[in-house]
A and B are shown apart, each in its own frame.
Chain A
Amino acid sequence: MTEEHKKYIKKRKVRKCVIVGLQAGILLLFIGAWELVAYLKIVDPFIISSPSRIVKIIGELYRGSNLFPHIFATLYETVLGFLLSTVMGTVIAIILWWSPVIKDVAEPYLITLNALPKIALGPIIIIWVGAGKASIVTMAVLICIVITIISVLTGFLSVDKEKIMLLKSMKATKMQIFAKLVFPANLPTIISVLKINVGLSWVGTIMGEYLVSREGIGYLIVYGSQVFQLDLVMASTVILCLLAALMYGGVALLEKFIAKKF
């Protein structure tokens, strides 16, 4: 290794350390300032809560065996909504790719559905599907599915025309064109849709839980705000942050795995 290359490697390492250090520093500074402001009663801790109160209330939830049931309820709804919308959205996109007539017929409906704020459908969903988990999952699916269909279909339709010509010259059937070209060429698109859906399915689930629920993180947030217990609201939000980051990390890992296979 030359001296110059060593220098370069060192420079890279230093840069990485600085970035991780700054990231951790900002977090610690934020938590510290928050705690201090609450401790010195510069702002009423009743309004802004504080890190130590958040830890305390999470401990209380845990001891009362309330923590994990709530987490699992929300996680279950989110993962189910995420999987259902991804699979159903991809299947619908395949149908629309297959039949240009169906695609053209469906287009205005898709555009309208995409523009519609799905939360507006909340009351209808509750009445139709019932006040329970099913409503929440439906909400999550509704939020994710339209964007899934549109993104995946756009990916399918943007496959290189010359590659399709090549397969046609080999007398490939539509099924073969899909299986050998269109689908594999779009795996990266589908992965990026997964990433979008992770975020959106959380939005759907929490929104659903705001509307109807007797358990879950969204329920804790609403309940906490109704009884004006900001500690509970903040603690739930922190848990939500962690869960969402964890799930995103999972998808990112899956992406790496698939990228390797490519």
Chain B
Amino acid sequence: MILQIENLSFTYHSKDTETKAVDDMNFSVNEGEFLGIVGPSGCGKTTILNLLAGIETPSSGRILLRGEPLSSKGNEIALMPQRDQLFEWRTIEKNVFLGLEILKKNTPENKAYGRELLEKYGLKDFLKKHPSELSGGMRQRVALIRTLVTAPSVLLLDEPFSALDFQTRLNVCDDVHSIIKQEKKTALLVSHDINESISLCDRIIVLSARPAKIKADVKVDLDKSLTPLQRRESPRFSKYFEEIWRLLEVRK
């Protein structure tokens, strides 16, 4: 077990009211697992993400990484945001070095590792280019490499394909899946897209409406050697879809 979430709760405060976004949540993630979190919109997915990424501090409960509480420094859990969020004024390689610079780890070896990843995943000719010169799919690949280069233990994917058109989306989904598998990373995908979650994940946690609680923990038993696109064609795929759809539909 690489990640353990214990009794996690979080409450938002505003002038008029307080809102419980996450209520006593418990789950764990195994090493090398691809875990999906789906839930109805506004259920507190983003909050869970912010808590895991260390942007927010839990109201109560703990997040343990390999048995240790998350530290306030370091980038053990790295976020790949919705839309690529590449910085237009930086070249592609400089975008990849961003996390290294922030963590003060921009040593020649780490930079070389970044370049190596870019070259390995077909971006060799774009090192000195700016993000606007790349296609949406390539940009998403750069964003993924930016999260990989700091060598985190867990990747957090926040609806990483939501800004892409459908066709690009399927291709990038395959891309991201194969890169994560090749780099042997543990990944957590937060999404409202059921199809995407089933095609990518080994296990899916279904959340209730706010405050988010775990409603079901569905193990996705599809052939792991298939690409996400191929998995979509598998006969069991639609069964999983129906199951999760039903779980999400019953709101009360």
- Interface residue ranges, A against B (CB under 8 Å): 160, 162-163, 165-172, 176, 180-181, 184-185, 187, 262
The contact of A171 among B82, B87, B102, by CB within 8 Å, is B102
Across the A-B interface, the 10 shortest Cβ-Cβ residue pairs? A169-B79, A169-B53, A170-B102, A172-B102, A168-B55, A170-B99, A262-B89, A184-B89, A163-B85, A166-B81
Q: Which residue of A lies closest to B99 (CB)?
A: A170
State A171–B73 Cα separation when bound (angstroms). Answer: 6
Q: Is the CB of A165 within 8 A of B50?
A: yes
Given A162-B81, A166-B81, A171-B73, A180–B53 Cβ distance below 8 Å?
no
Say yes or no for B186: interface residue by CB 8 A criterion: no
Q: Is the CB of A180 within 8 A of B73?
A: no
Q: Is the CB of A181 within 8 A of B74?
A: no
Per-position contact with A for B41-72: 1 when CB-CB < 8 Å, else 0? 00000000010011100000000000000001
Say yes or no for B88: interface residue by CB 8 A criterion: yes
Q: Which residue of A lies closest to B50 (CB)?
A: A165
State A50–B165 Cα separation when bound (angstroms). Answer: 65
Q: Which residue of B lies closest to A179 (CB)?
A: B101
State A176–B99 Cα separation when bound (angstroms). Answer: 11
State A163–B82 Cα separation when bound (angstroms). Answer: 10
Number of interface residues of B (CB under 8 A): 26
Q: Is the CB of B55 within 8 A of A180?
A: no
Most chain A beta-carbon contacts within 10 A, residue among B81, B83, B102, B130: B102
Q: Which residue of A lies closest to B74 (CB)?
A: A171
State A185–B87 Cα separation when bound (angstroms). Answer: 8
State A165–B83 Cα separation when bound (angstroms). Answer: 12
- Smallest Cβ distance from B54 to chain A, in angstroms? 6
Q: Is the CB of A165 within 8 A of B55?
A: yes
20 pairs from A and B in contact (CB 8 Å cutoff): A162-B85, A165-B50, A165-B81, A166-B79, A169-B75, A169-B79, A170-B78, A170-B79, A170-B98, A170-B99, A170-B103, A171-B72, A176-B101, A176-B102, A180-B87, A184-B87, A184-B89, A187-B89, A262-B88, A262-B89
State A225–B177 Cα separation when bound (angstroms). Answer: 78
State A102–B83 Cα separation when bound (angstroms). Answer: 33
